[in-house]
Amino acid sequence: MFISQENYTSHKDTQEHKKFIEWFIGFVEGDAFGGYVRKSHSMKIMFVIHQKHPKVLHKIKKHLGFGRVTGPFVNEKNKGIYFQYAVSKQEHVRELIQIFNGRFVLKKTKKRFEEYLKIYNSLQLIQQTSSSIDFQDNLILPTLQDGWLSGFLDAEGRFSGTVQKDWFKISISVSLVQKEEKELFEYLKSMLGGSLSFVEESSGNISCLKIESIADRERLMTYLDEYKLKSEKYISFCRFKKIHVRLTDGKFSCRMTRPKAQKRLVRLIKNINII
């Protein structure tokens, strides 16, 4: 379970805000925690998120009430387009630190955040602008009663579907992939079901959880109806649900023999893979 935010301002202490913060933490973890130091004439610690689509970044900015969304920019490595949400004002960086501290789930995120906090505290000591913040290493596990998994899926999840030409096999699934984090993924499997695999690569071991069976899909869909996705992946999720209903609801079975219905389903399956 997630710990309460005792230090957060009372006017934001609502259930929807709680859900958003839980989602935000999961999203930041999936996005690999964008904390860094800007080295210029005056050193500043910053926080940055990069995303292909800007809409979710604007949602974050609107809810938190600070930061800037800029772009589009071109990634020099793959020439892809991305947008950026950046927080540079130190009072807002401190507010983010208070939100994140003690609430991250992934081991590697905790390690990055601890280093980030050390730099932040050293700058506060040098500049004498505010007091230091102690790093909190709490054991946090997500549940189906909080928004962390929704945020993590928004950042790292993938909805996909395949159909064979002879119509003997149609499959849809949701997958999560992450470097390392074997223990967490074993825990997620115990909570969500699905199949779990670990692949050894030169860059590190890869954990992959795949949700595919009808019962497991329905469990995840029930969760995401309560803790909604906020990125473009919500569109993929809606398509995913439509396909699920057509595959499991008996009233659609006779329709699926019709060429037009089959074409619509193929189009849905193709479109689910776009985002």
Q: pLDDT tens per residue, the chain (275 residues)? A: 444 444 444 445 688 899 999 999 999 999 888 777 766 666 788 999 999 999 999 999 999 999 999 999 998 888 889 999 999 998 999 999 999 999 999 999 999 999 999 999 998 877 777 788 999 999 999 999 999 999 999 999 999 988 776 655 788 999 999 988 999 999 999 999 999 999 887 767 899 999 999 999 999 999 999 999 999 999 999 999 988 988 887 766 666 667 777 777 778 888 787 66
Q: What is the reported pLDDT for 269?
A: 82
Architecture of domain 10-127: Roll (3.10)
If you compute the radius of gyration of the chain from its CA atoms, what whole number of angstroms results?
21
Q: Would you identify the CATH topology of the domain 157-272?
A: Endonuclease I-creI (3.10.28)
Burial of 169 (C-beta count, 10 Å sphere; 0-12/13-18/19+): exposed
CATH 3.10.28.10 range(s) for the chain read 10-127, 157-272
Q: What is the reported pLDDT for 6?
A: 42
d(CA 66, CA 72): 19
Cβ-proximal residues to 265 (8 Å cutoff; 6+ apart), any chain: 163, 170, 243, 246, 256
pTM score = 0.88
Q: What is the reported pLDDT for 9?
A: 44
In Å, what is the CA distance from 16 to each residue of 22, 60, 144? 10, 13, 16
